[in-house]
């Protein structure tokens, strides 16, 4: 096993050496002058290990422009090694000690802003001659010292109304006792207070009216009643305590303003909306319009393009109420998300004498009809229909899209799609063809029996109704006809959370087999469990959350998905699921997926972690008895450009069973299962620019497999999920890839090596013809060193 581990490490090192530059090439450098070749930053002091990488990256941004080294990864042509990407420095600056000193000052100020008020930055430079180059390396040493923490927070607002507002929302403060004294948190707190005041009518208030003062003196001693001896005792006690744990007291104060209007509350006056404004409104005669008043709103229409009640429903500004900045922003967001207008302009007119604000909202409609044609190339026909097609390596598809942006004069959108595509192994053998007609109706509000007030609680809410018809011909195997329709909702309770709920989802599948597939079923009876006509009637729900703070380098995303079919109907009408009854084709199942992704981004590189777990449980019906499995269009599979890239699509698994590998002539060995576990690790980096677009590289490792819940009536004993066999059943692939980033889309080419294939081991060599010295399938002879090529559009995750 030790030998296997060493080989595995060597393989990774080889990939890394291929992907990473081994030298640095300097171009257009100053002749006979010392120039800046490299900057390094070393952080010491009381800094958590997990924050050091972020601090180091931020400190590098504090360098003065004339103290920076602009380095990229490029092809060094005409210099050696010519075609291997290396680090390239172009036009390095002449070494400037003044810029270096200022950079150190900037770094100290940055550390102070993070709470390290005693930070000290030193630097030294080293000189090296390489050929005719005079290279200077500058090393910055940042001694952070002890971090200052917040000991107390006091809000001082003489204005009684402002003070009452602050006290009512004090619990939402970004400043907490015991937290680091971070200037970013202080800035967030000031923004929170100003937004809070603006949401309570203070339209003109600015950051100039509120300040935060930090005092590291001893607030505990500000007590005129204590005697001198008690004062001395407290002073000694506080000095001893704060020597090793420096703290500050924060005072959030109101600043007196000469402009009294800044501390006045304003109400909303007249709100006027022009929903179909022409672009040249100023030059047109506005008398030929229709004016409508609804709930104190004034609607001016030129061509009656939108219904006035629908327009008013999007406005959050209520005449007579206190001005609210959040409602101002939400009003703009409501019209933006509808997609029926190409631009908007919300004009304010302030009357200081009455303390009222009038609003004029001018909306310029977008073109009602939209038509487009898209060409796609991928290793699969359609990512939403992966399970419905064969195992071809290349696919081409054409999409025709027609969209109507304003049905019923209420910004209801109808989108019609026609999709045609083929999939083939090479340009002489077509494996499958597809044609799909899709229809999607998007209603920009929740269609529910509840009141409008209830629906207003949901941000960016919409109702979606679809109806899709698809025909797929897997040549020589089967023809597949499907009809899918659903009624569902989508909304965002918070900007970082999205819910999708489909209370009604219907999918009808009809499969007609060719002789070759009929013969495959005779050789492989298990296909009867998976490939047959079926009916799905149920509901599903999806929850997506972004846990990251705005502007953060690190992004964490979680997606939860649950689906059921036939639970209600199958329970209420079990007799209708018998053969030749109306629900005989009904599938009964439940499934649940968890998908977590972590993105860690640096200036030129990024690291991605993805963890996926999914499981579905099929439930027998009167017409489907025994150990049933999920229908193939709801099952899990491994392999392909977006999963376990060391295998072709649907060729991984099932578990460590070799049932499919022993079929005569290997006929129709597509593999589906009820459980999937997968972990993906990918390190991405820039290579070089070519003709204005980026060539990027990646090294990756995929770990996972698919399983059944059971052994399928004893036919596949090693295909069931067993915890004690988990390590043996896990497959491992690793490899490298190249991405051509055209900004608006990415072409991806990956080469994955199947390092561990659990189907093969010493005990299976005579059956499968493949041999591995490891019983767990590491480095199978003649398999692990043959990469699988994957081609797709876009990143896998």
- 613 and 702 inside one domain: yes
- 658 and 678 inside one domain: yes
- Tell me if 620 is assigned to some domain: yes
Please give the Cα distance from 35 to 96 (Å, whole number).
8
- Tell me if 446 is assigned to some domain: no
Beta 675-690 vs 605-619: how paired, if at all?
Answer: antiparallel
Q: 394-406 b/e with 16+ CB inside 10 Å = b?
A: bbebebeeebebb
How many other CB atoms are there within 10 angstroms of residue 177's CB atom? Answer: 11
Query: Where does the pLDDT of residue 279 fall: very low under 50, low under 70, confident under 90, or very high at 90 and above?
Result: confident
Q: Where are the beta strands (DSSP E) in 157-283?
A: 210-215, 247-254, 267-274
pLDDT digits (tens, 9 = 90+) for 330-385: 899 889 988 899 999 999 999 989 999 999 999 999 988 888 887 665 443 333 33
Q: In the beta sheet, which residues pair with residue 422?
A: 396, 433
- Tell me if 752 is assigned to some domain: yes
Q: Which two tokens stand for residue 367?
A: 């073109």
| Domain boundary pick from 262, 291, 309 | 262
pLDDT of 681 strictly over 90:
yes
- 677 and 752 inside one domain: yes
Here the CATH number for the domain that contains residue 729 is: 2.40.160
Could you give the strand order of the β-sheet that contains 210-215, starting from the edge strand earlier in sequence?
149-156, 247-254, 210-215
- 567 and 682 inside one domain: yes
DSSP SS3 for 641: coil
Return the pLDDT at 17: 43
Mean pLDDT, rounded, for 21-33: 77
- Tell me if 209 is assigned to some domain: yes
Query: Where does the pLDDT of residue 321 fall: very low under 50, low under 70, confident under 90, or very high at 90 and above?
Result: very high
Burial of 532 (0-12, 13-18, 19+ CB in 10 A): middle
Please give the Cα distance from 60 to 106 (Å, whole number).
10
More confident position, 514 or 118: 118
Q: Which two tokens stand for residue 60?
A: 């590098």
Name the H helices within 20-114. 52-60, 97-113
How many other CB atoms are there within 10 angstroms of residue 193's CB atom? Answer: 25
- 750 and 787 inside one domain: yes
- Tell me if 213 is assigned to some domain: yes
Domain count, the chain: 4
- 107 and 251 inside one domain: no
| Domain boundary pick from 333, 365, 397 | 365
Nearest alpha carbon to residue 526 among 731, 705, 668 = 668
Mean pLDDT, rounded, for 498-521: 83
- Tell me if 453 is assigned to some domain: no
- 584 and 686 inside one domain: yes
- Tell me if 435 is assigned to some domain: no
- 94 and 160 inside one domain: no
- 139 and 153 inside one domain: no
Return the pLDDT at 689: 76
Q: Where are the beta strands (DSSP E) in 566-650?
A: 588-601, 605-619
- Tell me if 592 is assigned to some domain: yes
Here the CATH number for the domain that contains residue 331 is: 3.10.20.310
Nearest alpha carbon to residue 385 among 465, 442, 469, 466 = 469
Nearest alpha carbon to residue 479 among 426, 518, 428, 453 = 518
| Domain boundary pick from 143, 171, 188 | 143
pLDDT of 305 strictly over 60:
yes
Half-sphere exposure of 120 (CA within 13 A, CB side): 6
- 113 and 139 inside one domain: yes
Domain residue limits at 195: 149-262
- 298 and 341 inside one domain: yes
- 538 and 676 inside one domain: yes
Indicate the pTM of the whole model. 0.74
How many other CB atoms are there within 10 angstroms of residue 518's CB atom? Answer: 12
């Amino acid at each position: 096993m030790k030998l296997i581990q060493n080989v595995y490490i060597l393989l990774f090192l080889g990939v890394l050496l291929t992907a990473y530059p081994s030298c640095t090439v300097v171009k257009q450098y100053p002749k006979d002058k010392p120039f800046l070749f490299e900057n390094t930053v070393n952080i010491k002091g009381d800094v958590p290990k997990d924050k050091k990488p972020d601090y180091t990256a931020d400190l590098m941004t504090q360098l003065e422009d004339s103290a920076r080294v602009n380095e990229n990864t490029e092809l060094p042509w005409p210099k050696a090694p010519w075609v291997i990407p290396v680090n390239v420095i172009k036009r390095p600056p002449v070494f400037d000690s003044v810029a270096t000193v200022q950079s150190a000052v900037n770094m100290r100020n940055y550390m102070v802003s993070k709470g390290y008020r005693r930070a000290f930055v030193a630097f030294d430079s080293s000189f090296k001659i390489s050929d005719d180059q005079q290279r200077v390396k500058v090393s910055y040493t940042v001694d952070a010292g002890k971090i200052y923490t917040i000991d107390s927070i006091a809000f001082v607002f003489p204005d009684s109304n402002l003070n009452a507002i602050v006290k009512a929302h004090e619990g939402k403060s970004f400043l907490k006792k015991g937290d680091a004294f971070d200037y970013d948190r202080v800035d967030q707190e000031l923004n929170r207070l100003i937004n809070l005041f603006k949401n309570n009518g203070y339209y003109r208030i600015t950051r100039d009216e509120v300040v935060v003062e930090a005092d590291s003196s001893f607030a505990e001693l500000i007590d005129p009643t204590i005697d001198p001896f008690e004062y001395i005792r407290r002073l000694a006690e506080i000095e001893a305590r704060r020597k090793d744990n420096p703290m500050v007291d924060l005072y959030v104060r109101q600043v007196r303003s000469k402009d009294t209007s800044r501390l006045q509350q304003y109400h909303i006056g007249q709100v006027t909306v022009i929903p179909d404004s022409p672009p040249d409104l100023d030059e047109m005669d506005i008398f030929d319009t229709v004016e409508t008043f609804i709930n104190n709103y004034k609607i001016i229409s030129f061509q009656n393009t939108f219904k006035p009640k629908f327009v008013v429903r999007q406005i959050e500004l209520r005449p007579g109420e206190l001005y609210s900045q959040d409602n101002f922003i939400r009003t703009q967001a409501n019209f933006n998300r509808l997609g029926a207008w190409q631009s908007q302009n919300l004009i304010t007119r302030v009357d200081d004498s009455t303390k009222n604000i009038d609003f004029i909202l001018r909306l310029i409609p977008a073109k009602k009809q939209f038509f487009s044609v898209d060409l796609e190339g991928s290793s699969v026909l359609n990512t939403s229909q992966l399970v419905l097609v064969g195992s071809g390596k290349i696919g081409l598809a054409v999409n025709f899209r027609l969209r109507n942006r304003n049905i019923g004069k209420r910004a209801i959108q109808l989108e019609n799609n026609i999709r045609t595509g083929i999939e083939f192994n090479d340009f002489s053998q077509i494996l499958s063809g597809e044609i799909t007609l899709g229809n999607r109706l998007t209603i920009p509000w929740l269609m529910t029996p509840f009141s409008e007030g209830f629906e207003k609680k949901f941000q960016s809410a919409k109702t979606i109704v679809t109806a899709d018809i698809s025909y797929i011909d897997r040549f020589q195997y089967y023809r597949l006809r499907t009809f899918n329709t659903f009624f569902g909702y989508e909304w965002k309770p918070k900007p970082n959370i999205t819910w999708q709920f489909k209370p009604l989802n219907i999918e009808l599948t009809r499969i007609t087999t060719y002789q070759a597939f009929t013969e495959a079923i005779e050789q492989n009876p298990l296909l009867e469990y998976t490939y047959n006509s079926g009916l799905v009637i149920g509901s599903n729900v999806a929850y997506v959350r972004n846990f990251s703070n705005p502007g953060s380098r690190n992004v964490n995303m979680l997606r939860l998905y649950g689906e059921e079919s036939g639970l209600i109907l199958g329970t209420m009408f079990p007799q209708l699921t018998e053969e030749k009854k109306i629900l005989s084709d009904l599938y009964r199942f439940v499934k649940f997926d968890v998908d977590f992704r972590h993105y860690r981004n640096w200036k030129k590189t990024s690291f991605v972690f993805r963890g996926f777990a999914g499981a579905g449980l099929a439930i027998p019906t009167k017409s489907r008895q025994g150990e049933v499995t999920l229908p193939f269009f709801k099952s899990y599979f491994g392999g392909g450009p977006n999963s376990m890239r060391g295998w072709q699509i649907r060729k991984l698994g099932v578990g460590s069973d070799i049932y499919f590998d022993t079929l005569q002539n290997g006929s129709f060995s597509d593999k589906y299962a009820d459980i999937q576990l997968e972990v993906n690790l990918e390190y991405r980096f820039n290579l070089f620019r070519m003709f204005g677009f980026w060539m990027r590289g990646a090294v990756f490792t995929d770990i996972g497999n698919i399983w059944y819940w059971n052994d399928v009536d004893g036919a596949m004993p090693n295909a069931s999920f067993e915890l004690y066999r988990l390590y043996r059943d896990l497959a491992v692939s690793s490899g490298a890839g190249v991405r051509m980033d055209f900004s608006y889309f990415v072409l991806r080419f990956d080469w994955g090596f199947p390092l561990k294939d659990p189907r093969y081991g010493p005990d299976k060599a005579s059956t499968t013809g493949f041999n591995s010295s490891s019983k767990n399938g590491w480095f199978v002879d003649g398999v692990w060193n043959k990469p699988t090529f994957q081609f797709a559009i876009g990143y896998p995750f």
